Every structure is written in C-alpha cells, then in structure tokens.
Structure 1
Amino acid sequence: MATAEKTSYPKEKIRVLFLENISDLAVKNFRNSGYTQVEKISKALTEDELVKEIKDVHILGIRSKTQITPRILEAAKKLQAIGCFCIGVNQVNLKSATEHGVSVFNAPYSNTRSVAELVIGLAIMLIRRIPDKNKAAHEGIWMKDAKGSFELRGKTLGIIGYGNIGSQVSVLAEALGMKVLFYDTETKLPLGNAADGKTLKDVLSKSDVVTMHVPETAQTKNLINKSNLKYFKKGSILINYARGEVVELEALRKYIVDGHIGGAAIDVFPWEPEKNGDRFQTPLQDLPNVILTPHIGGSTEEAQQNIGEDVSLKLLNFLEKGNTFGSHTVPALALPPQEGSHRILHIHNNVPGVLSAINTALSDAKINIVGQYLKTNEEIGYVVLDVDKQLSNRAMQLLKEVKETIKVRMLY
C-alpha cells in the first residue's frame, strides 16, 4: 500500500464517501494510507441527495441500493472512481461512467462461499419440508411425519449459471452425494463430475433442485417463467439467490399452489424496500414450504470483510498507482514504478490520432517521455505517461489541451 510520500497530491484534500454501511475495514484501509476526509453513511442516498453530495467527492463507495445515474455522474466533477462493495455493478450506469472517465470496481468473488453455503442449506431445509414443520411447531402443532421429506444424497441439482457462485455450489453439492447438471450460455469447464445440460429445458426437466446464479440482463429477465415452469419435475424445488428479475413470481406462485413446484427459497425481488423495517410484499408470502429472505445471500461478516478489503485496495491501487485491473470502465493496466519521473494519467475518447497528438505535443515542447503505457476499449483510451520531473507541470497543461481528452491526473 502506498505511503504518503508516494503521491504528489495532498491526501488530506481527497474526499472519500462510503454509503450503505460499508465495512469499517474499507474506512480503516483509507485512513491508514493517509486519507483524512473519509466519511461513512449508513444508508443509501437518493439521486437528488447524491447530486448535491458528490460535487467534491473523489472516491465513492456504494453497495446495491444506491443507483448511479448519468445525472449524478454529470454532477461529479472531481470523481475518479466508484467502488461497488458487492458482486455486481448493475446499479451503476456504466456507459455514462465510461464517458466521464470514472473507473468502476467491484468484488466479484468475495461473497461466493457465503452464498454457496446458504444455497446448500436451503436445499436441505426445503427437501425435508422444514419450513412447514417449523411453522407448525411455533403454532403449537406437532407434525412428526416423514412423508414428502427426502435426503439430498442421490438427487440431481440443476445450476443455472455456472460462474463463480454456481461452480462453488456444484462442488459443495457433489460433496453431499448429489448429481450436478448445469446450464450456461457460455462454454464452461465442469468441476468434479458435473455435467453440462446443454439446454435450459434439459436441466429443468431432470433436476430435483434448481438454483439460479445468473446476472440481471435483458436476456435473463423472467428467465424462469410460466412457459418453462411446466418443464420442472413435479415436486422439485426452486432457489433464487441471484437477481430479482430472473424469476416471474406470479407464475411461480401458481405452480406452488398447484403443487407442481414443491418449494422455493427466494432472496431477491423485483422490488425491495429501501431500508430495514419498511413494509415488504411479494406474491410468495403465506405459501407452504417457501423461505423468503431479505437479500442476505452474501451477508456474512466474513463476506463483508472480504468485500471491504478487496474493493478498498482496488480503489487505493487506482488512486495511488494508476492500476485499473478489475475496472469495468477504464481499460485494464497494471504499471511498474518508474524512478526519476512524474507519472500522469490521461483518459480520452477512443478515436484515431489521440496518442499521436499526445506524443507530438510533448515532443514539440521537448518533454522527454521516460515510459508510456496504453490500453483501449471500444469507448475510451487510457494512457499512462512517465515524464521528466522538471517538465511535468508543462506536460499536464499540454495533455489537458489534447482534443478528445476526458480526464488528466498527476499521480506523482
């Protein structure tokens, strides 16, 4: 981690804002690195609130509730990076962030184990019909009955989305003696004895338990719907700890009431309350053998600490070294240190001629380039230049004047 001497900008002037009760470990990492303006707020902010708040913010940390819109990014004149302290980035308008040269980081692996363990636990609870027996016991009714209760061993688990979490669930399921089928739109190497089901229908029709682990996209909206719920085995179980829009809940209710689906566990919903204690409604309330949880699939202390560590270090590496590995907007570069020079970061629209314009401007001013690194994506280019110390301020001014420039920052 960089020390105070490594950067030319005054760390006490860098404002860091963390929303939604982000792990204290993230706050600690920034303060230990010399940043004094670190503010932590326990709740999400509305668009209007954040537009007012973000004008002087350099680093923003959020979780899944805060929505980063083009209007917010337009107001964020000093913003360098956004850290999404969760596994997804769909709460950020990535197109607008890219256009403004704001790097967006997340923690795609940090809560994998927490979700995977819970999915297996839910499968056990539902296949044994524990929710109904638990409810009866709380109501003073004794329901000692083996009918409709089964072991997981020997059953087939269908995994829809064989990514970080889906593949981890696969490993745990096999350890319990389950057979594993998976479906993914991309070719994936199976772990253990898991088998590629080839089609969604094939996996749904052969599985005793189906668990969803897909992102929220236009293609996955209502992926499980009234048209394909009929392919599920009678009495099978559905678990959705992925995204709220991937299951059509009204259709699922009908199939549970009809007895075709034997149980469900749902953690994510198309609409979720803003804060704890708010009224919550879903079509799946008051149904037999259904477990509803308030978006806590990855909410363990271990996961939150891992996320806090992972994302805060990515933000610090970008802020202090210019490293963009893991960014969803700025092209990925990891840079070796260069002694005896000053480092300047230049983000620009990816159009022909920009690099030539940069080099020409510096060459005409007789500014020596000690090192240069370039990476582009479809939208923008990211250039890191190590230049002669004595002429670095002049270089900064020239780079700001290059056509198509989005952002220029002196790193050290």
Structure 2
Amino acid sequence: IGCFCIGTNQVDLQGARERGIAVFNAPFSNTRSVAELVLGEILLLLRGIPQRNALAHRGGWLKSANGSFEARGKTLGIIGYGHIGTQLGIMAENIGMNVEFYDIEDKLTLGNATQVHNLTQLLQRADVISLHVPETPQTKNLIGMAELEVMKQGAILINASRGTVVDIDALAESLRENKLSGAAIDVFPVEPKSNDEEFVSPLREFDNVILTPHIGGSTQEAQENIGIEVAGKLAKYSDNGSTITAVNFPEVSLPELANRSRLLHVHHNRPGVLTQINQAFAQHGINIAAQYLQTDEAIGYVVIDVDTDQSEVALKELSAVEGTIRARILH
C-alpha cells in the first residue's frame, strides 16, 4: 500500500501487517514546502500582518509600529527536530533567529541550534513555538492550557504537524485573554471531508490567527516529489522485495544476484521459523544463495535467493512452514 503523503492514519497498519502487507509513505518529499510555509507565517505574525490585512479588507487603516517586530534576534522554539524541524531551523537562522528545539531523543544539531531537554523550559524561552511531531497517544493535546499558560506573553504558536497535537479550545481561550499575539494553524482535530463542506472552528473569530486548510505540503513541487518517492518504493518492493522505510514492516533490502530466483516469506514472529525454512530446504537439496531476515514484535520477513530451477519446490516448502502469513515467488 502506498500513502502519497506523510500521514498513515488512513490505513489500518496493524491489520495490514497481520496480512503481510507492507505500507509505504513519503516522509521526506514535502519537507521544504512545510518549512517554507511556517517561515512565512512567522514573518507575517511577528509583523502583525494578518490582523492589519483583515482590517484593511473591512475598510480600516492601522498604520502603527505597535506589536510589529523583526524576526532577527527572536527565539524560535521547535518541538520535534525531524526532517521538517531541522530544515526550518536552518532557514530561521538564515534570517537571524535563534533556534532552540525539544525532542524526546537526543539529536544532532544543525547550524547553531540548541537542544533543550525540558519542554516547559522551551515554552518559557521562545518567542515563536512551531510544532513538528507525529500523531501518537503521547502527542495528543501536547499543547493544552497548562502549556499555553507558561509560554511568553505575546508569543506565537504555529502547528503544521497533526491536528490532535493542540487543544484548539484552550488555544482559543488563550487568544481571547491576549496571552498569545497570534497563531497559525494548518491542521485540525476535525477537518472538512471535501472543499464543499463548511470549516467549523472557534479560531475563525480571530483576525490574528492564520488558518490554512491542511496545505503545508501542498505545492506542485512537493506533490511531484511525493509521487516519485512513493512510486519508487512500491517499484523496489515489487522488483526486489525491499521494505526499506516501510512504516509497518521489518526493513529488508537484499542485493540482487544474477541467475537466481527470489522468494519472500512473511510469518508470525516466533522462535524456530528460520530453522524450519533452512531444514526444509536442506531436505530437498535447495541451495540458498542469499538470505536476509528481519523481525519486529509481531512478524518476521525473510528474503531468500535460490537456484532458479528450485523456486517452485522452495515456494511449496515455504508455504508449509508453521506460522506462515504470506509466501510468494518474486521472480
């Protein structure tokens, strides 16, 4: 299964794994697009452009420097220092921002960024907070009222990661109390299912909030890159059984051998399966030219190259192994 996006919550990953189906996504292809969107929103919000723009559309005129700031010298706090977070950090440094980040793992810092090992400390120090974390039980409502209260007075919050990460009602209350000077939200807990459905959110009342319809990665360049990335992974899996970067499957990649047949075997992860395979092949005189097994907590995935004239017998023996989920000849 190929997901032409980053998120995979539209697929039952466990159900697919239990049936021996690998799932691939595109975690890299829209990185630049998301980072550019966030950087643009930082500049707009620091200058107070959204509310001035909204007022001008209503016939108003607010020519004032009050609440309008340069990005240079401000501190950007990045929560989640992955592909997007790192690129955003580099781009922000290029316009003079100080970059600090929080991640649950120790990360190699790029540029002059500094890792902060306490989320509360980052929230207290940053002028702008940008979220770049996956959707997990641990990140649900990662930013709620308690976290908003410890942020700097007049800080900015940006979420272009997952819709469940921010408590929207708490954010709305914080904006009503003028705790934050603005926000930019691209993802929401509940989103319209089509462009014809009304978007409903308590954040619609605020001129100082940029609301975008989940378009962080929606650029022509990103869509082309996503198509190439996911299609390439599916082609590699189809051609040689590679599951590198699969989101629900053990990662296996075995170099091709000339004049050999390749078999794929997915099985429940239990002791002795590989021994059964090797013993069965030995009993029938099947020569294993190459073999690579990887497992996770639920399944094992083994790629086996055998002499070409032995592939049908090998498949029959693989299918008979106890615990087999799926077995097939690739070529």
Q: 2:250 corresponds to which residue? A: 331
Aligned to 2:52: 133
Distance 1:360 1:114 in 2: 52
| Whole-angstrom distance in 1 between the partners of 2:112 and 2:318 | 55
Structure-2 separation of matches of 1:283 and 1:260: 16
1:270-316 CA distance string (max 9 Å, x none): 00111112111011112131110000001111111111101100000
Q: What is the correspondence of 1:91-110 to structure 2 with a 5 Å cutoff?
A: 91-110=10-29
The structure 1 residue matched to 2:118, chosen from 170, 187, 199, is 199
Q: Secondary structure at the match of 1:166?
A: helix
Mean CA deviation greater in 145-154 or 391-400: 391-400
SS of residue matched to 2:129:
strand
Q: Which amino acid aligns with 2:301?
A: Y
Amino acid paired to 1:165: I
Question: What amino acid is aligned across from residue 173 of structure 2 in structure 1?
Answer: K
Q: CA deviation at 1:94?
A: 2.1
- Whether 2:309 is the aligned partner of 1:390: answer yes
- Percent identity over paired residues: 54
Give the counterpart letter for 1:236 in structure 2.
A
Give, as a single letter, the amino acid of the residue that structure 2 aligns with 1:335: L
Q: 1:131-183 CA distances to partner (integer Å, 9 max, x unpaired)? A: 11111222222222211111111111111111111111111111110111111
Instruction: Tell me what 1:122 maps to.
Output: 41
Q: Is the 8 A contact 2:294 2:301 kept in 1?
A: yes
Deviation at 1:329, TM superposition (A): 2.3
Q: What letter corresponds to residue 313 of structure 1 in structure 2?
A: G
Q: Pick from 309, 312, 316: which aligns with 2:235? A: 316
1:364 paired with 2:287, answer: no
Secondary structure in structure 2 of the residue aligned to 1:103:
coil
- What letter corresponds to residue 94 of structure 1 in structure 2? L
Q: Which moved more, 1:369-378 or 1:98-107?
A: 369-378
Q: Is this contact kept in 2: 1:114–1:299, CA < 8 A?
A: yes
Deviation at 1:367, TM superposition (A): 2.3
SS of equivalent residue, structure 1 residue 84: coil
1:73 — aligned with what?
Answer: none
The answer to whether 1:185 aligns with 2:98 is no
Give unmatched runs, 5+ long, in structure 2.
none
Query: What are the residue-to-residue correspondences of 1:13-162 with 2, within 5 Å?
Result: 82-162=1-81
Which AA in structure 1 matches 2:265? H
Contact residue 79 and residue 129 of structure 2 kept, 8 A: yes
Rounded Cα–Cα distance in structure 2 between residues aligned with 1:175 and 1:206: 20
Partner of 1:406: 325
Runs of 4+ in 1 over 4 A off after TM superposition: none
Q: Which moved more, 1:163-172 or 1:364-373?
A: 364-373
Question: What do residues 352-408 of structure 1 show as CA deviations (whole Å, max 9, x unaligned)?
Answer: 111111122222222222222222222111112222222311221221111100111
Q: CA deviation at 1:340?
A: 2.1
Q: Which moved more, 1:158-167 or 1:385-394?
A: 385-394
**Structure 1 residue identity aligned to 2:98:** K
Over the residues paired in the alignment, what is the CA RMSD in angstroms? 1.2
The offset of 1:121, in angstroms, is 0.3
What is the TM-score of this pair, normalised by structure 1?
0.78
Give the equivalent residue in structure 2 for 1:79. none
Counterparts of 1:370 and 1:260 in 2: how far apart (Å)? 66
Gaps of 5+ in 1: 1-81
CA contact (8 A) 1:236 1:263 kept: yes
Quick one: distance in 2 between partners of 1:369 and 1:284? 62
How far apart, CA to CA, are the structure 2 residues paired with 1:139 and 1:306?
Answer: 40
Q: For each residue in 1:309-343, what CA deviation from the matched residue of structure 2 results, as whole angstroms up to 9, or x when unmatched? A: 01100000001111111112222121212222211
Provide the aligned length of Structure 1 versus Structure 2.
331
Taking the TM superposition and a 5 Å limit, the aligned residue runs for 1:250-269 are 250-269=169-188
Counterpart Cα distance in 2 of 1:114 and 1:321: 31
Match of 1:291 in 2: 210
- Structure-2-length-normalised TM-score: 0.97
Distance 2:101 2:304 in 1: 46
Query: What is the CA–CA distance in structure 1 between the aligned matches of 2:113 and 2:303, rounded to whole Å?
Result: 44
**For residues 102-139 of structure 1, what are the alpha-carbon distances to aligned partners after superposition, in whole Å with 9 as ceiling and x for unaligned?**
11111111111101111010011111111111112222
| Residue deviations 1:44-73 (CA, integer Å, cap 9, x gap) | xxxxxxxxxxxxxxxxxxxxxxxxxxxxxx
Report SS of the residue matched to 2:233.
helix
CA contact (8 A) 1:101 1:329 kept: no
> Is 1:167 matched with 2:118?
no
Q: Match for residue 17 of structure 1?
A: none
- Residue 409 of structure 1 and its aligned partner are, at CA, apart by 1.4
Q: Which amino acid aligns with 1:181?
A: E
Amino acid at match of 1:304: Q
Quote the residue 2:267 is aligned against.
348
Residue 78 of structure 1 is matched in structure 2 by none
Report SS of the residue matched to 1:105. Answer: coil
Three-state SS of the structure 1 residue aligned to 2:72 is coil
Question: Once the two structures are superposed, what CA deviation does each residue of 1:186-221 show, in whole Å capped at 9, x if it has no partner?
Answer: 111221111122211111111111111111111111
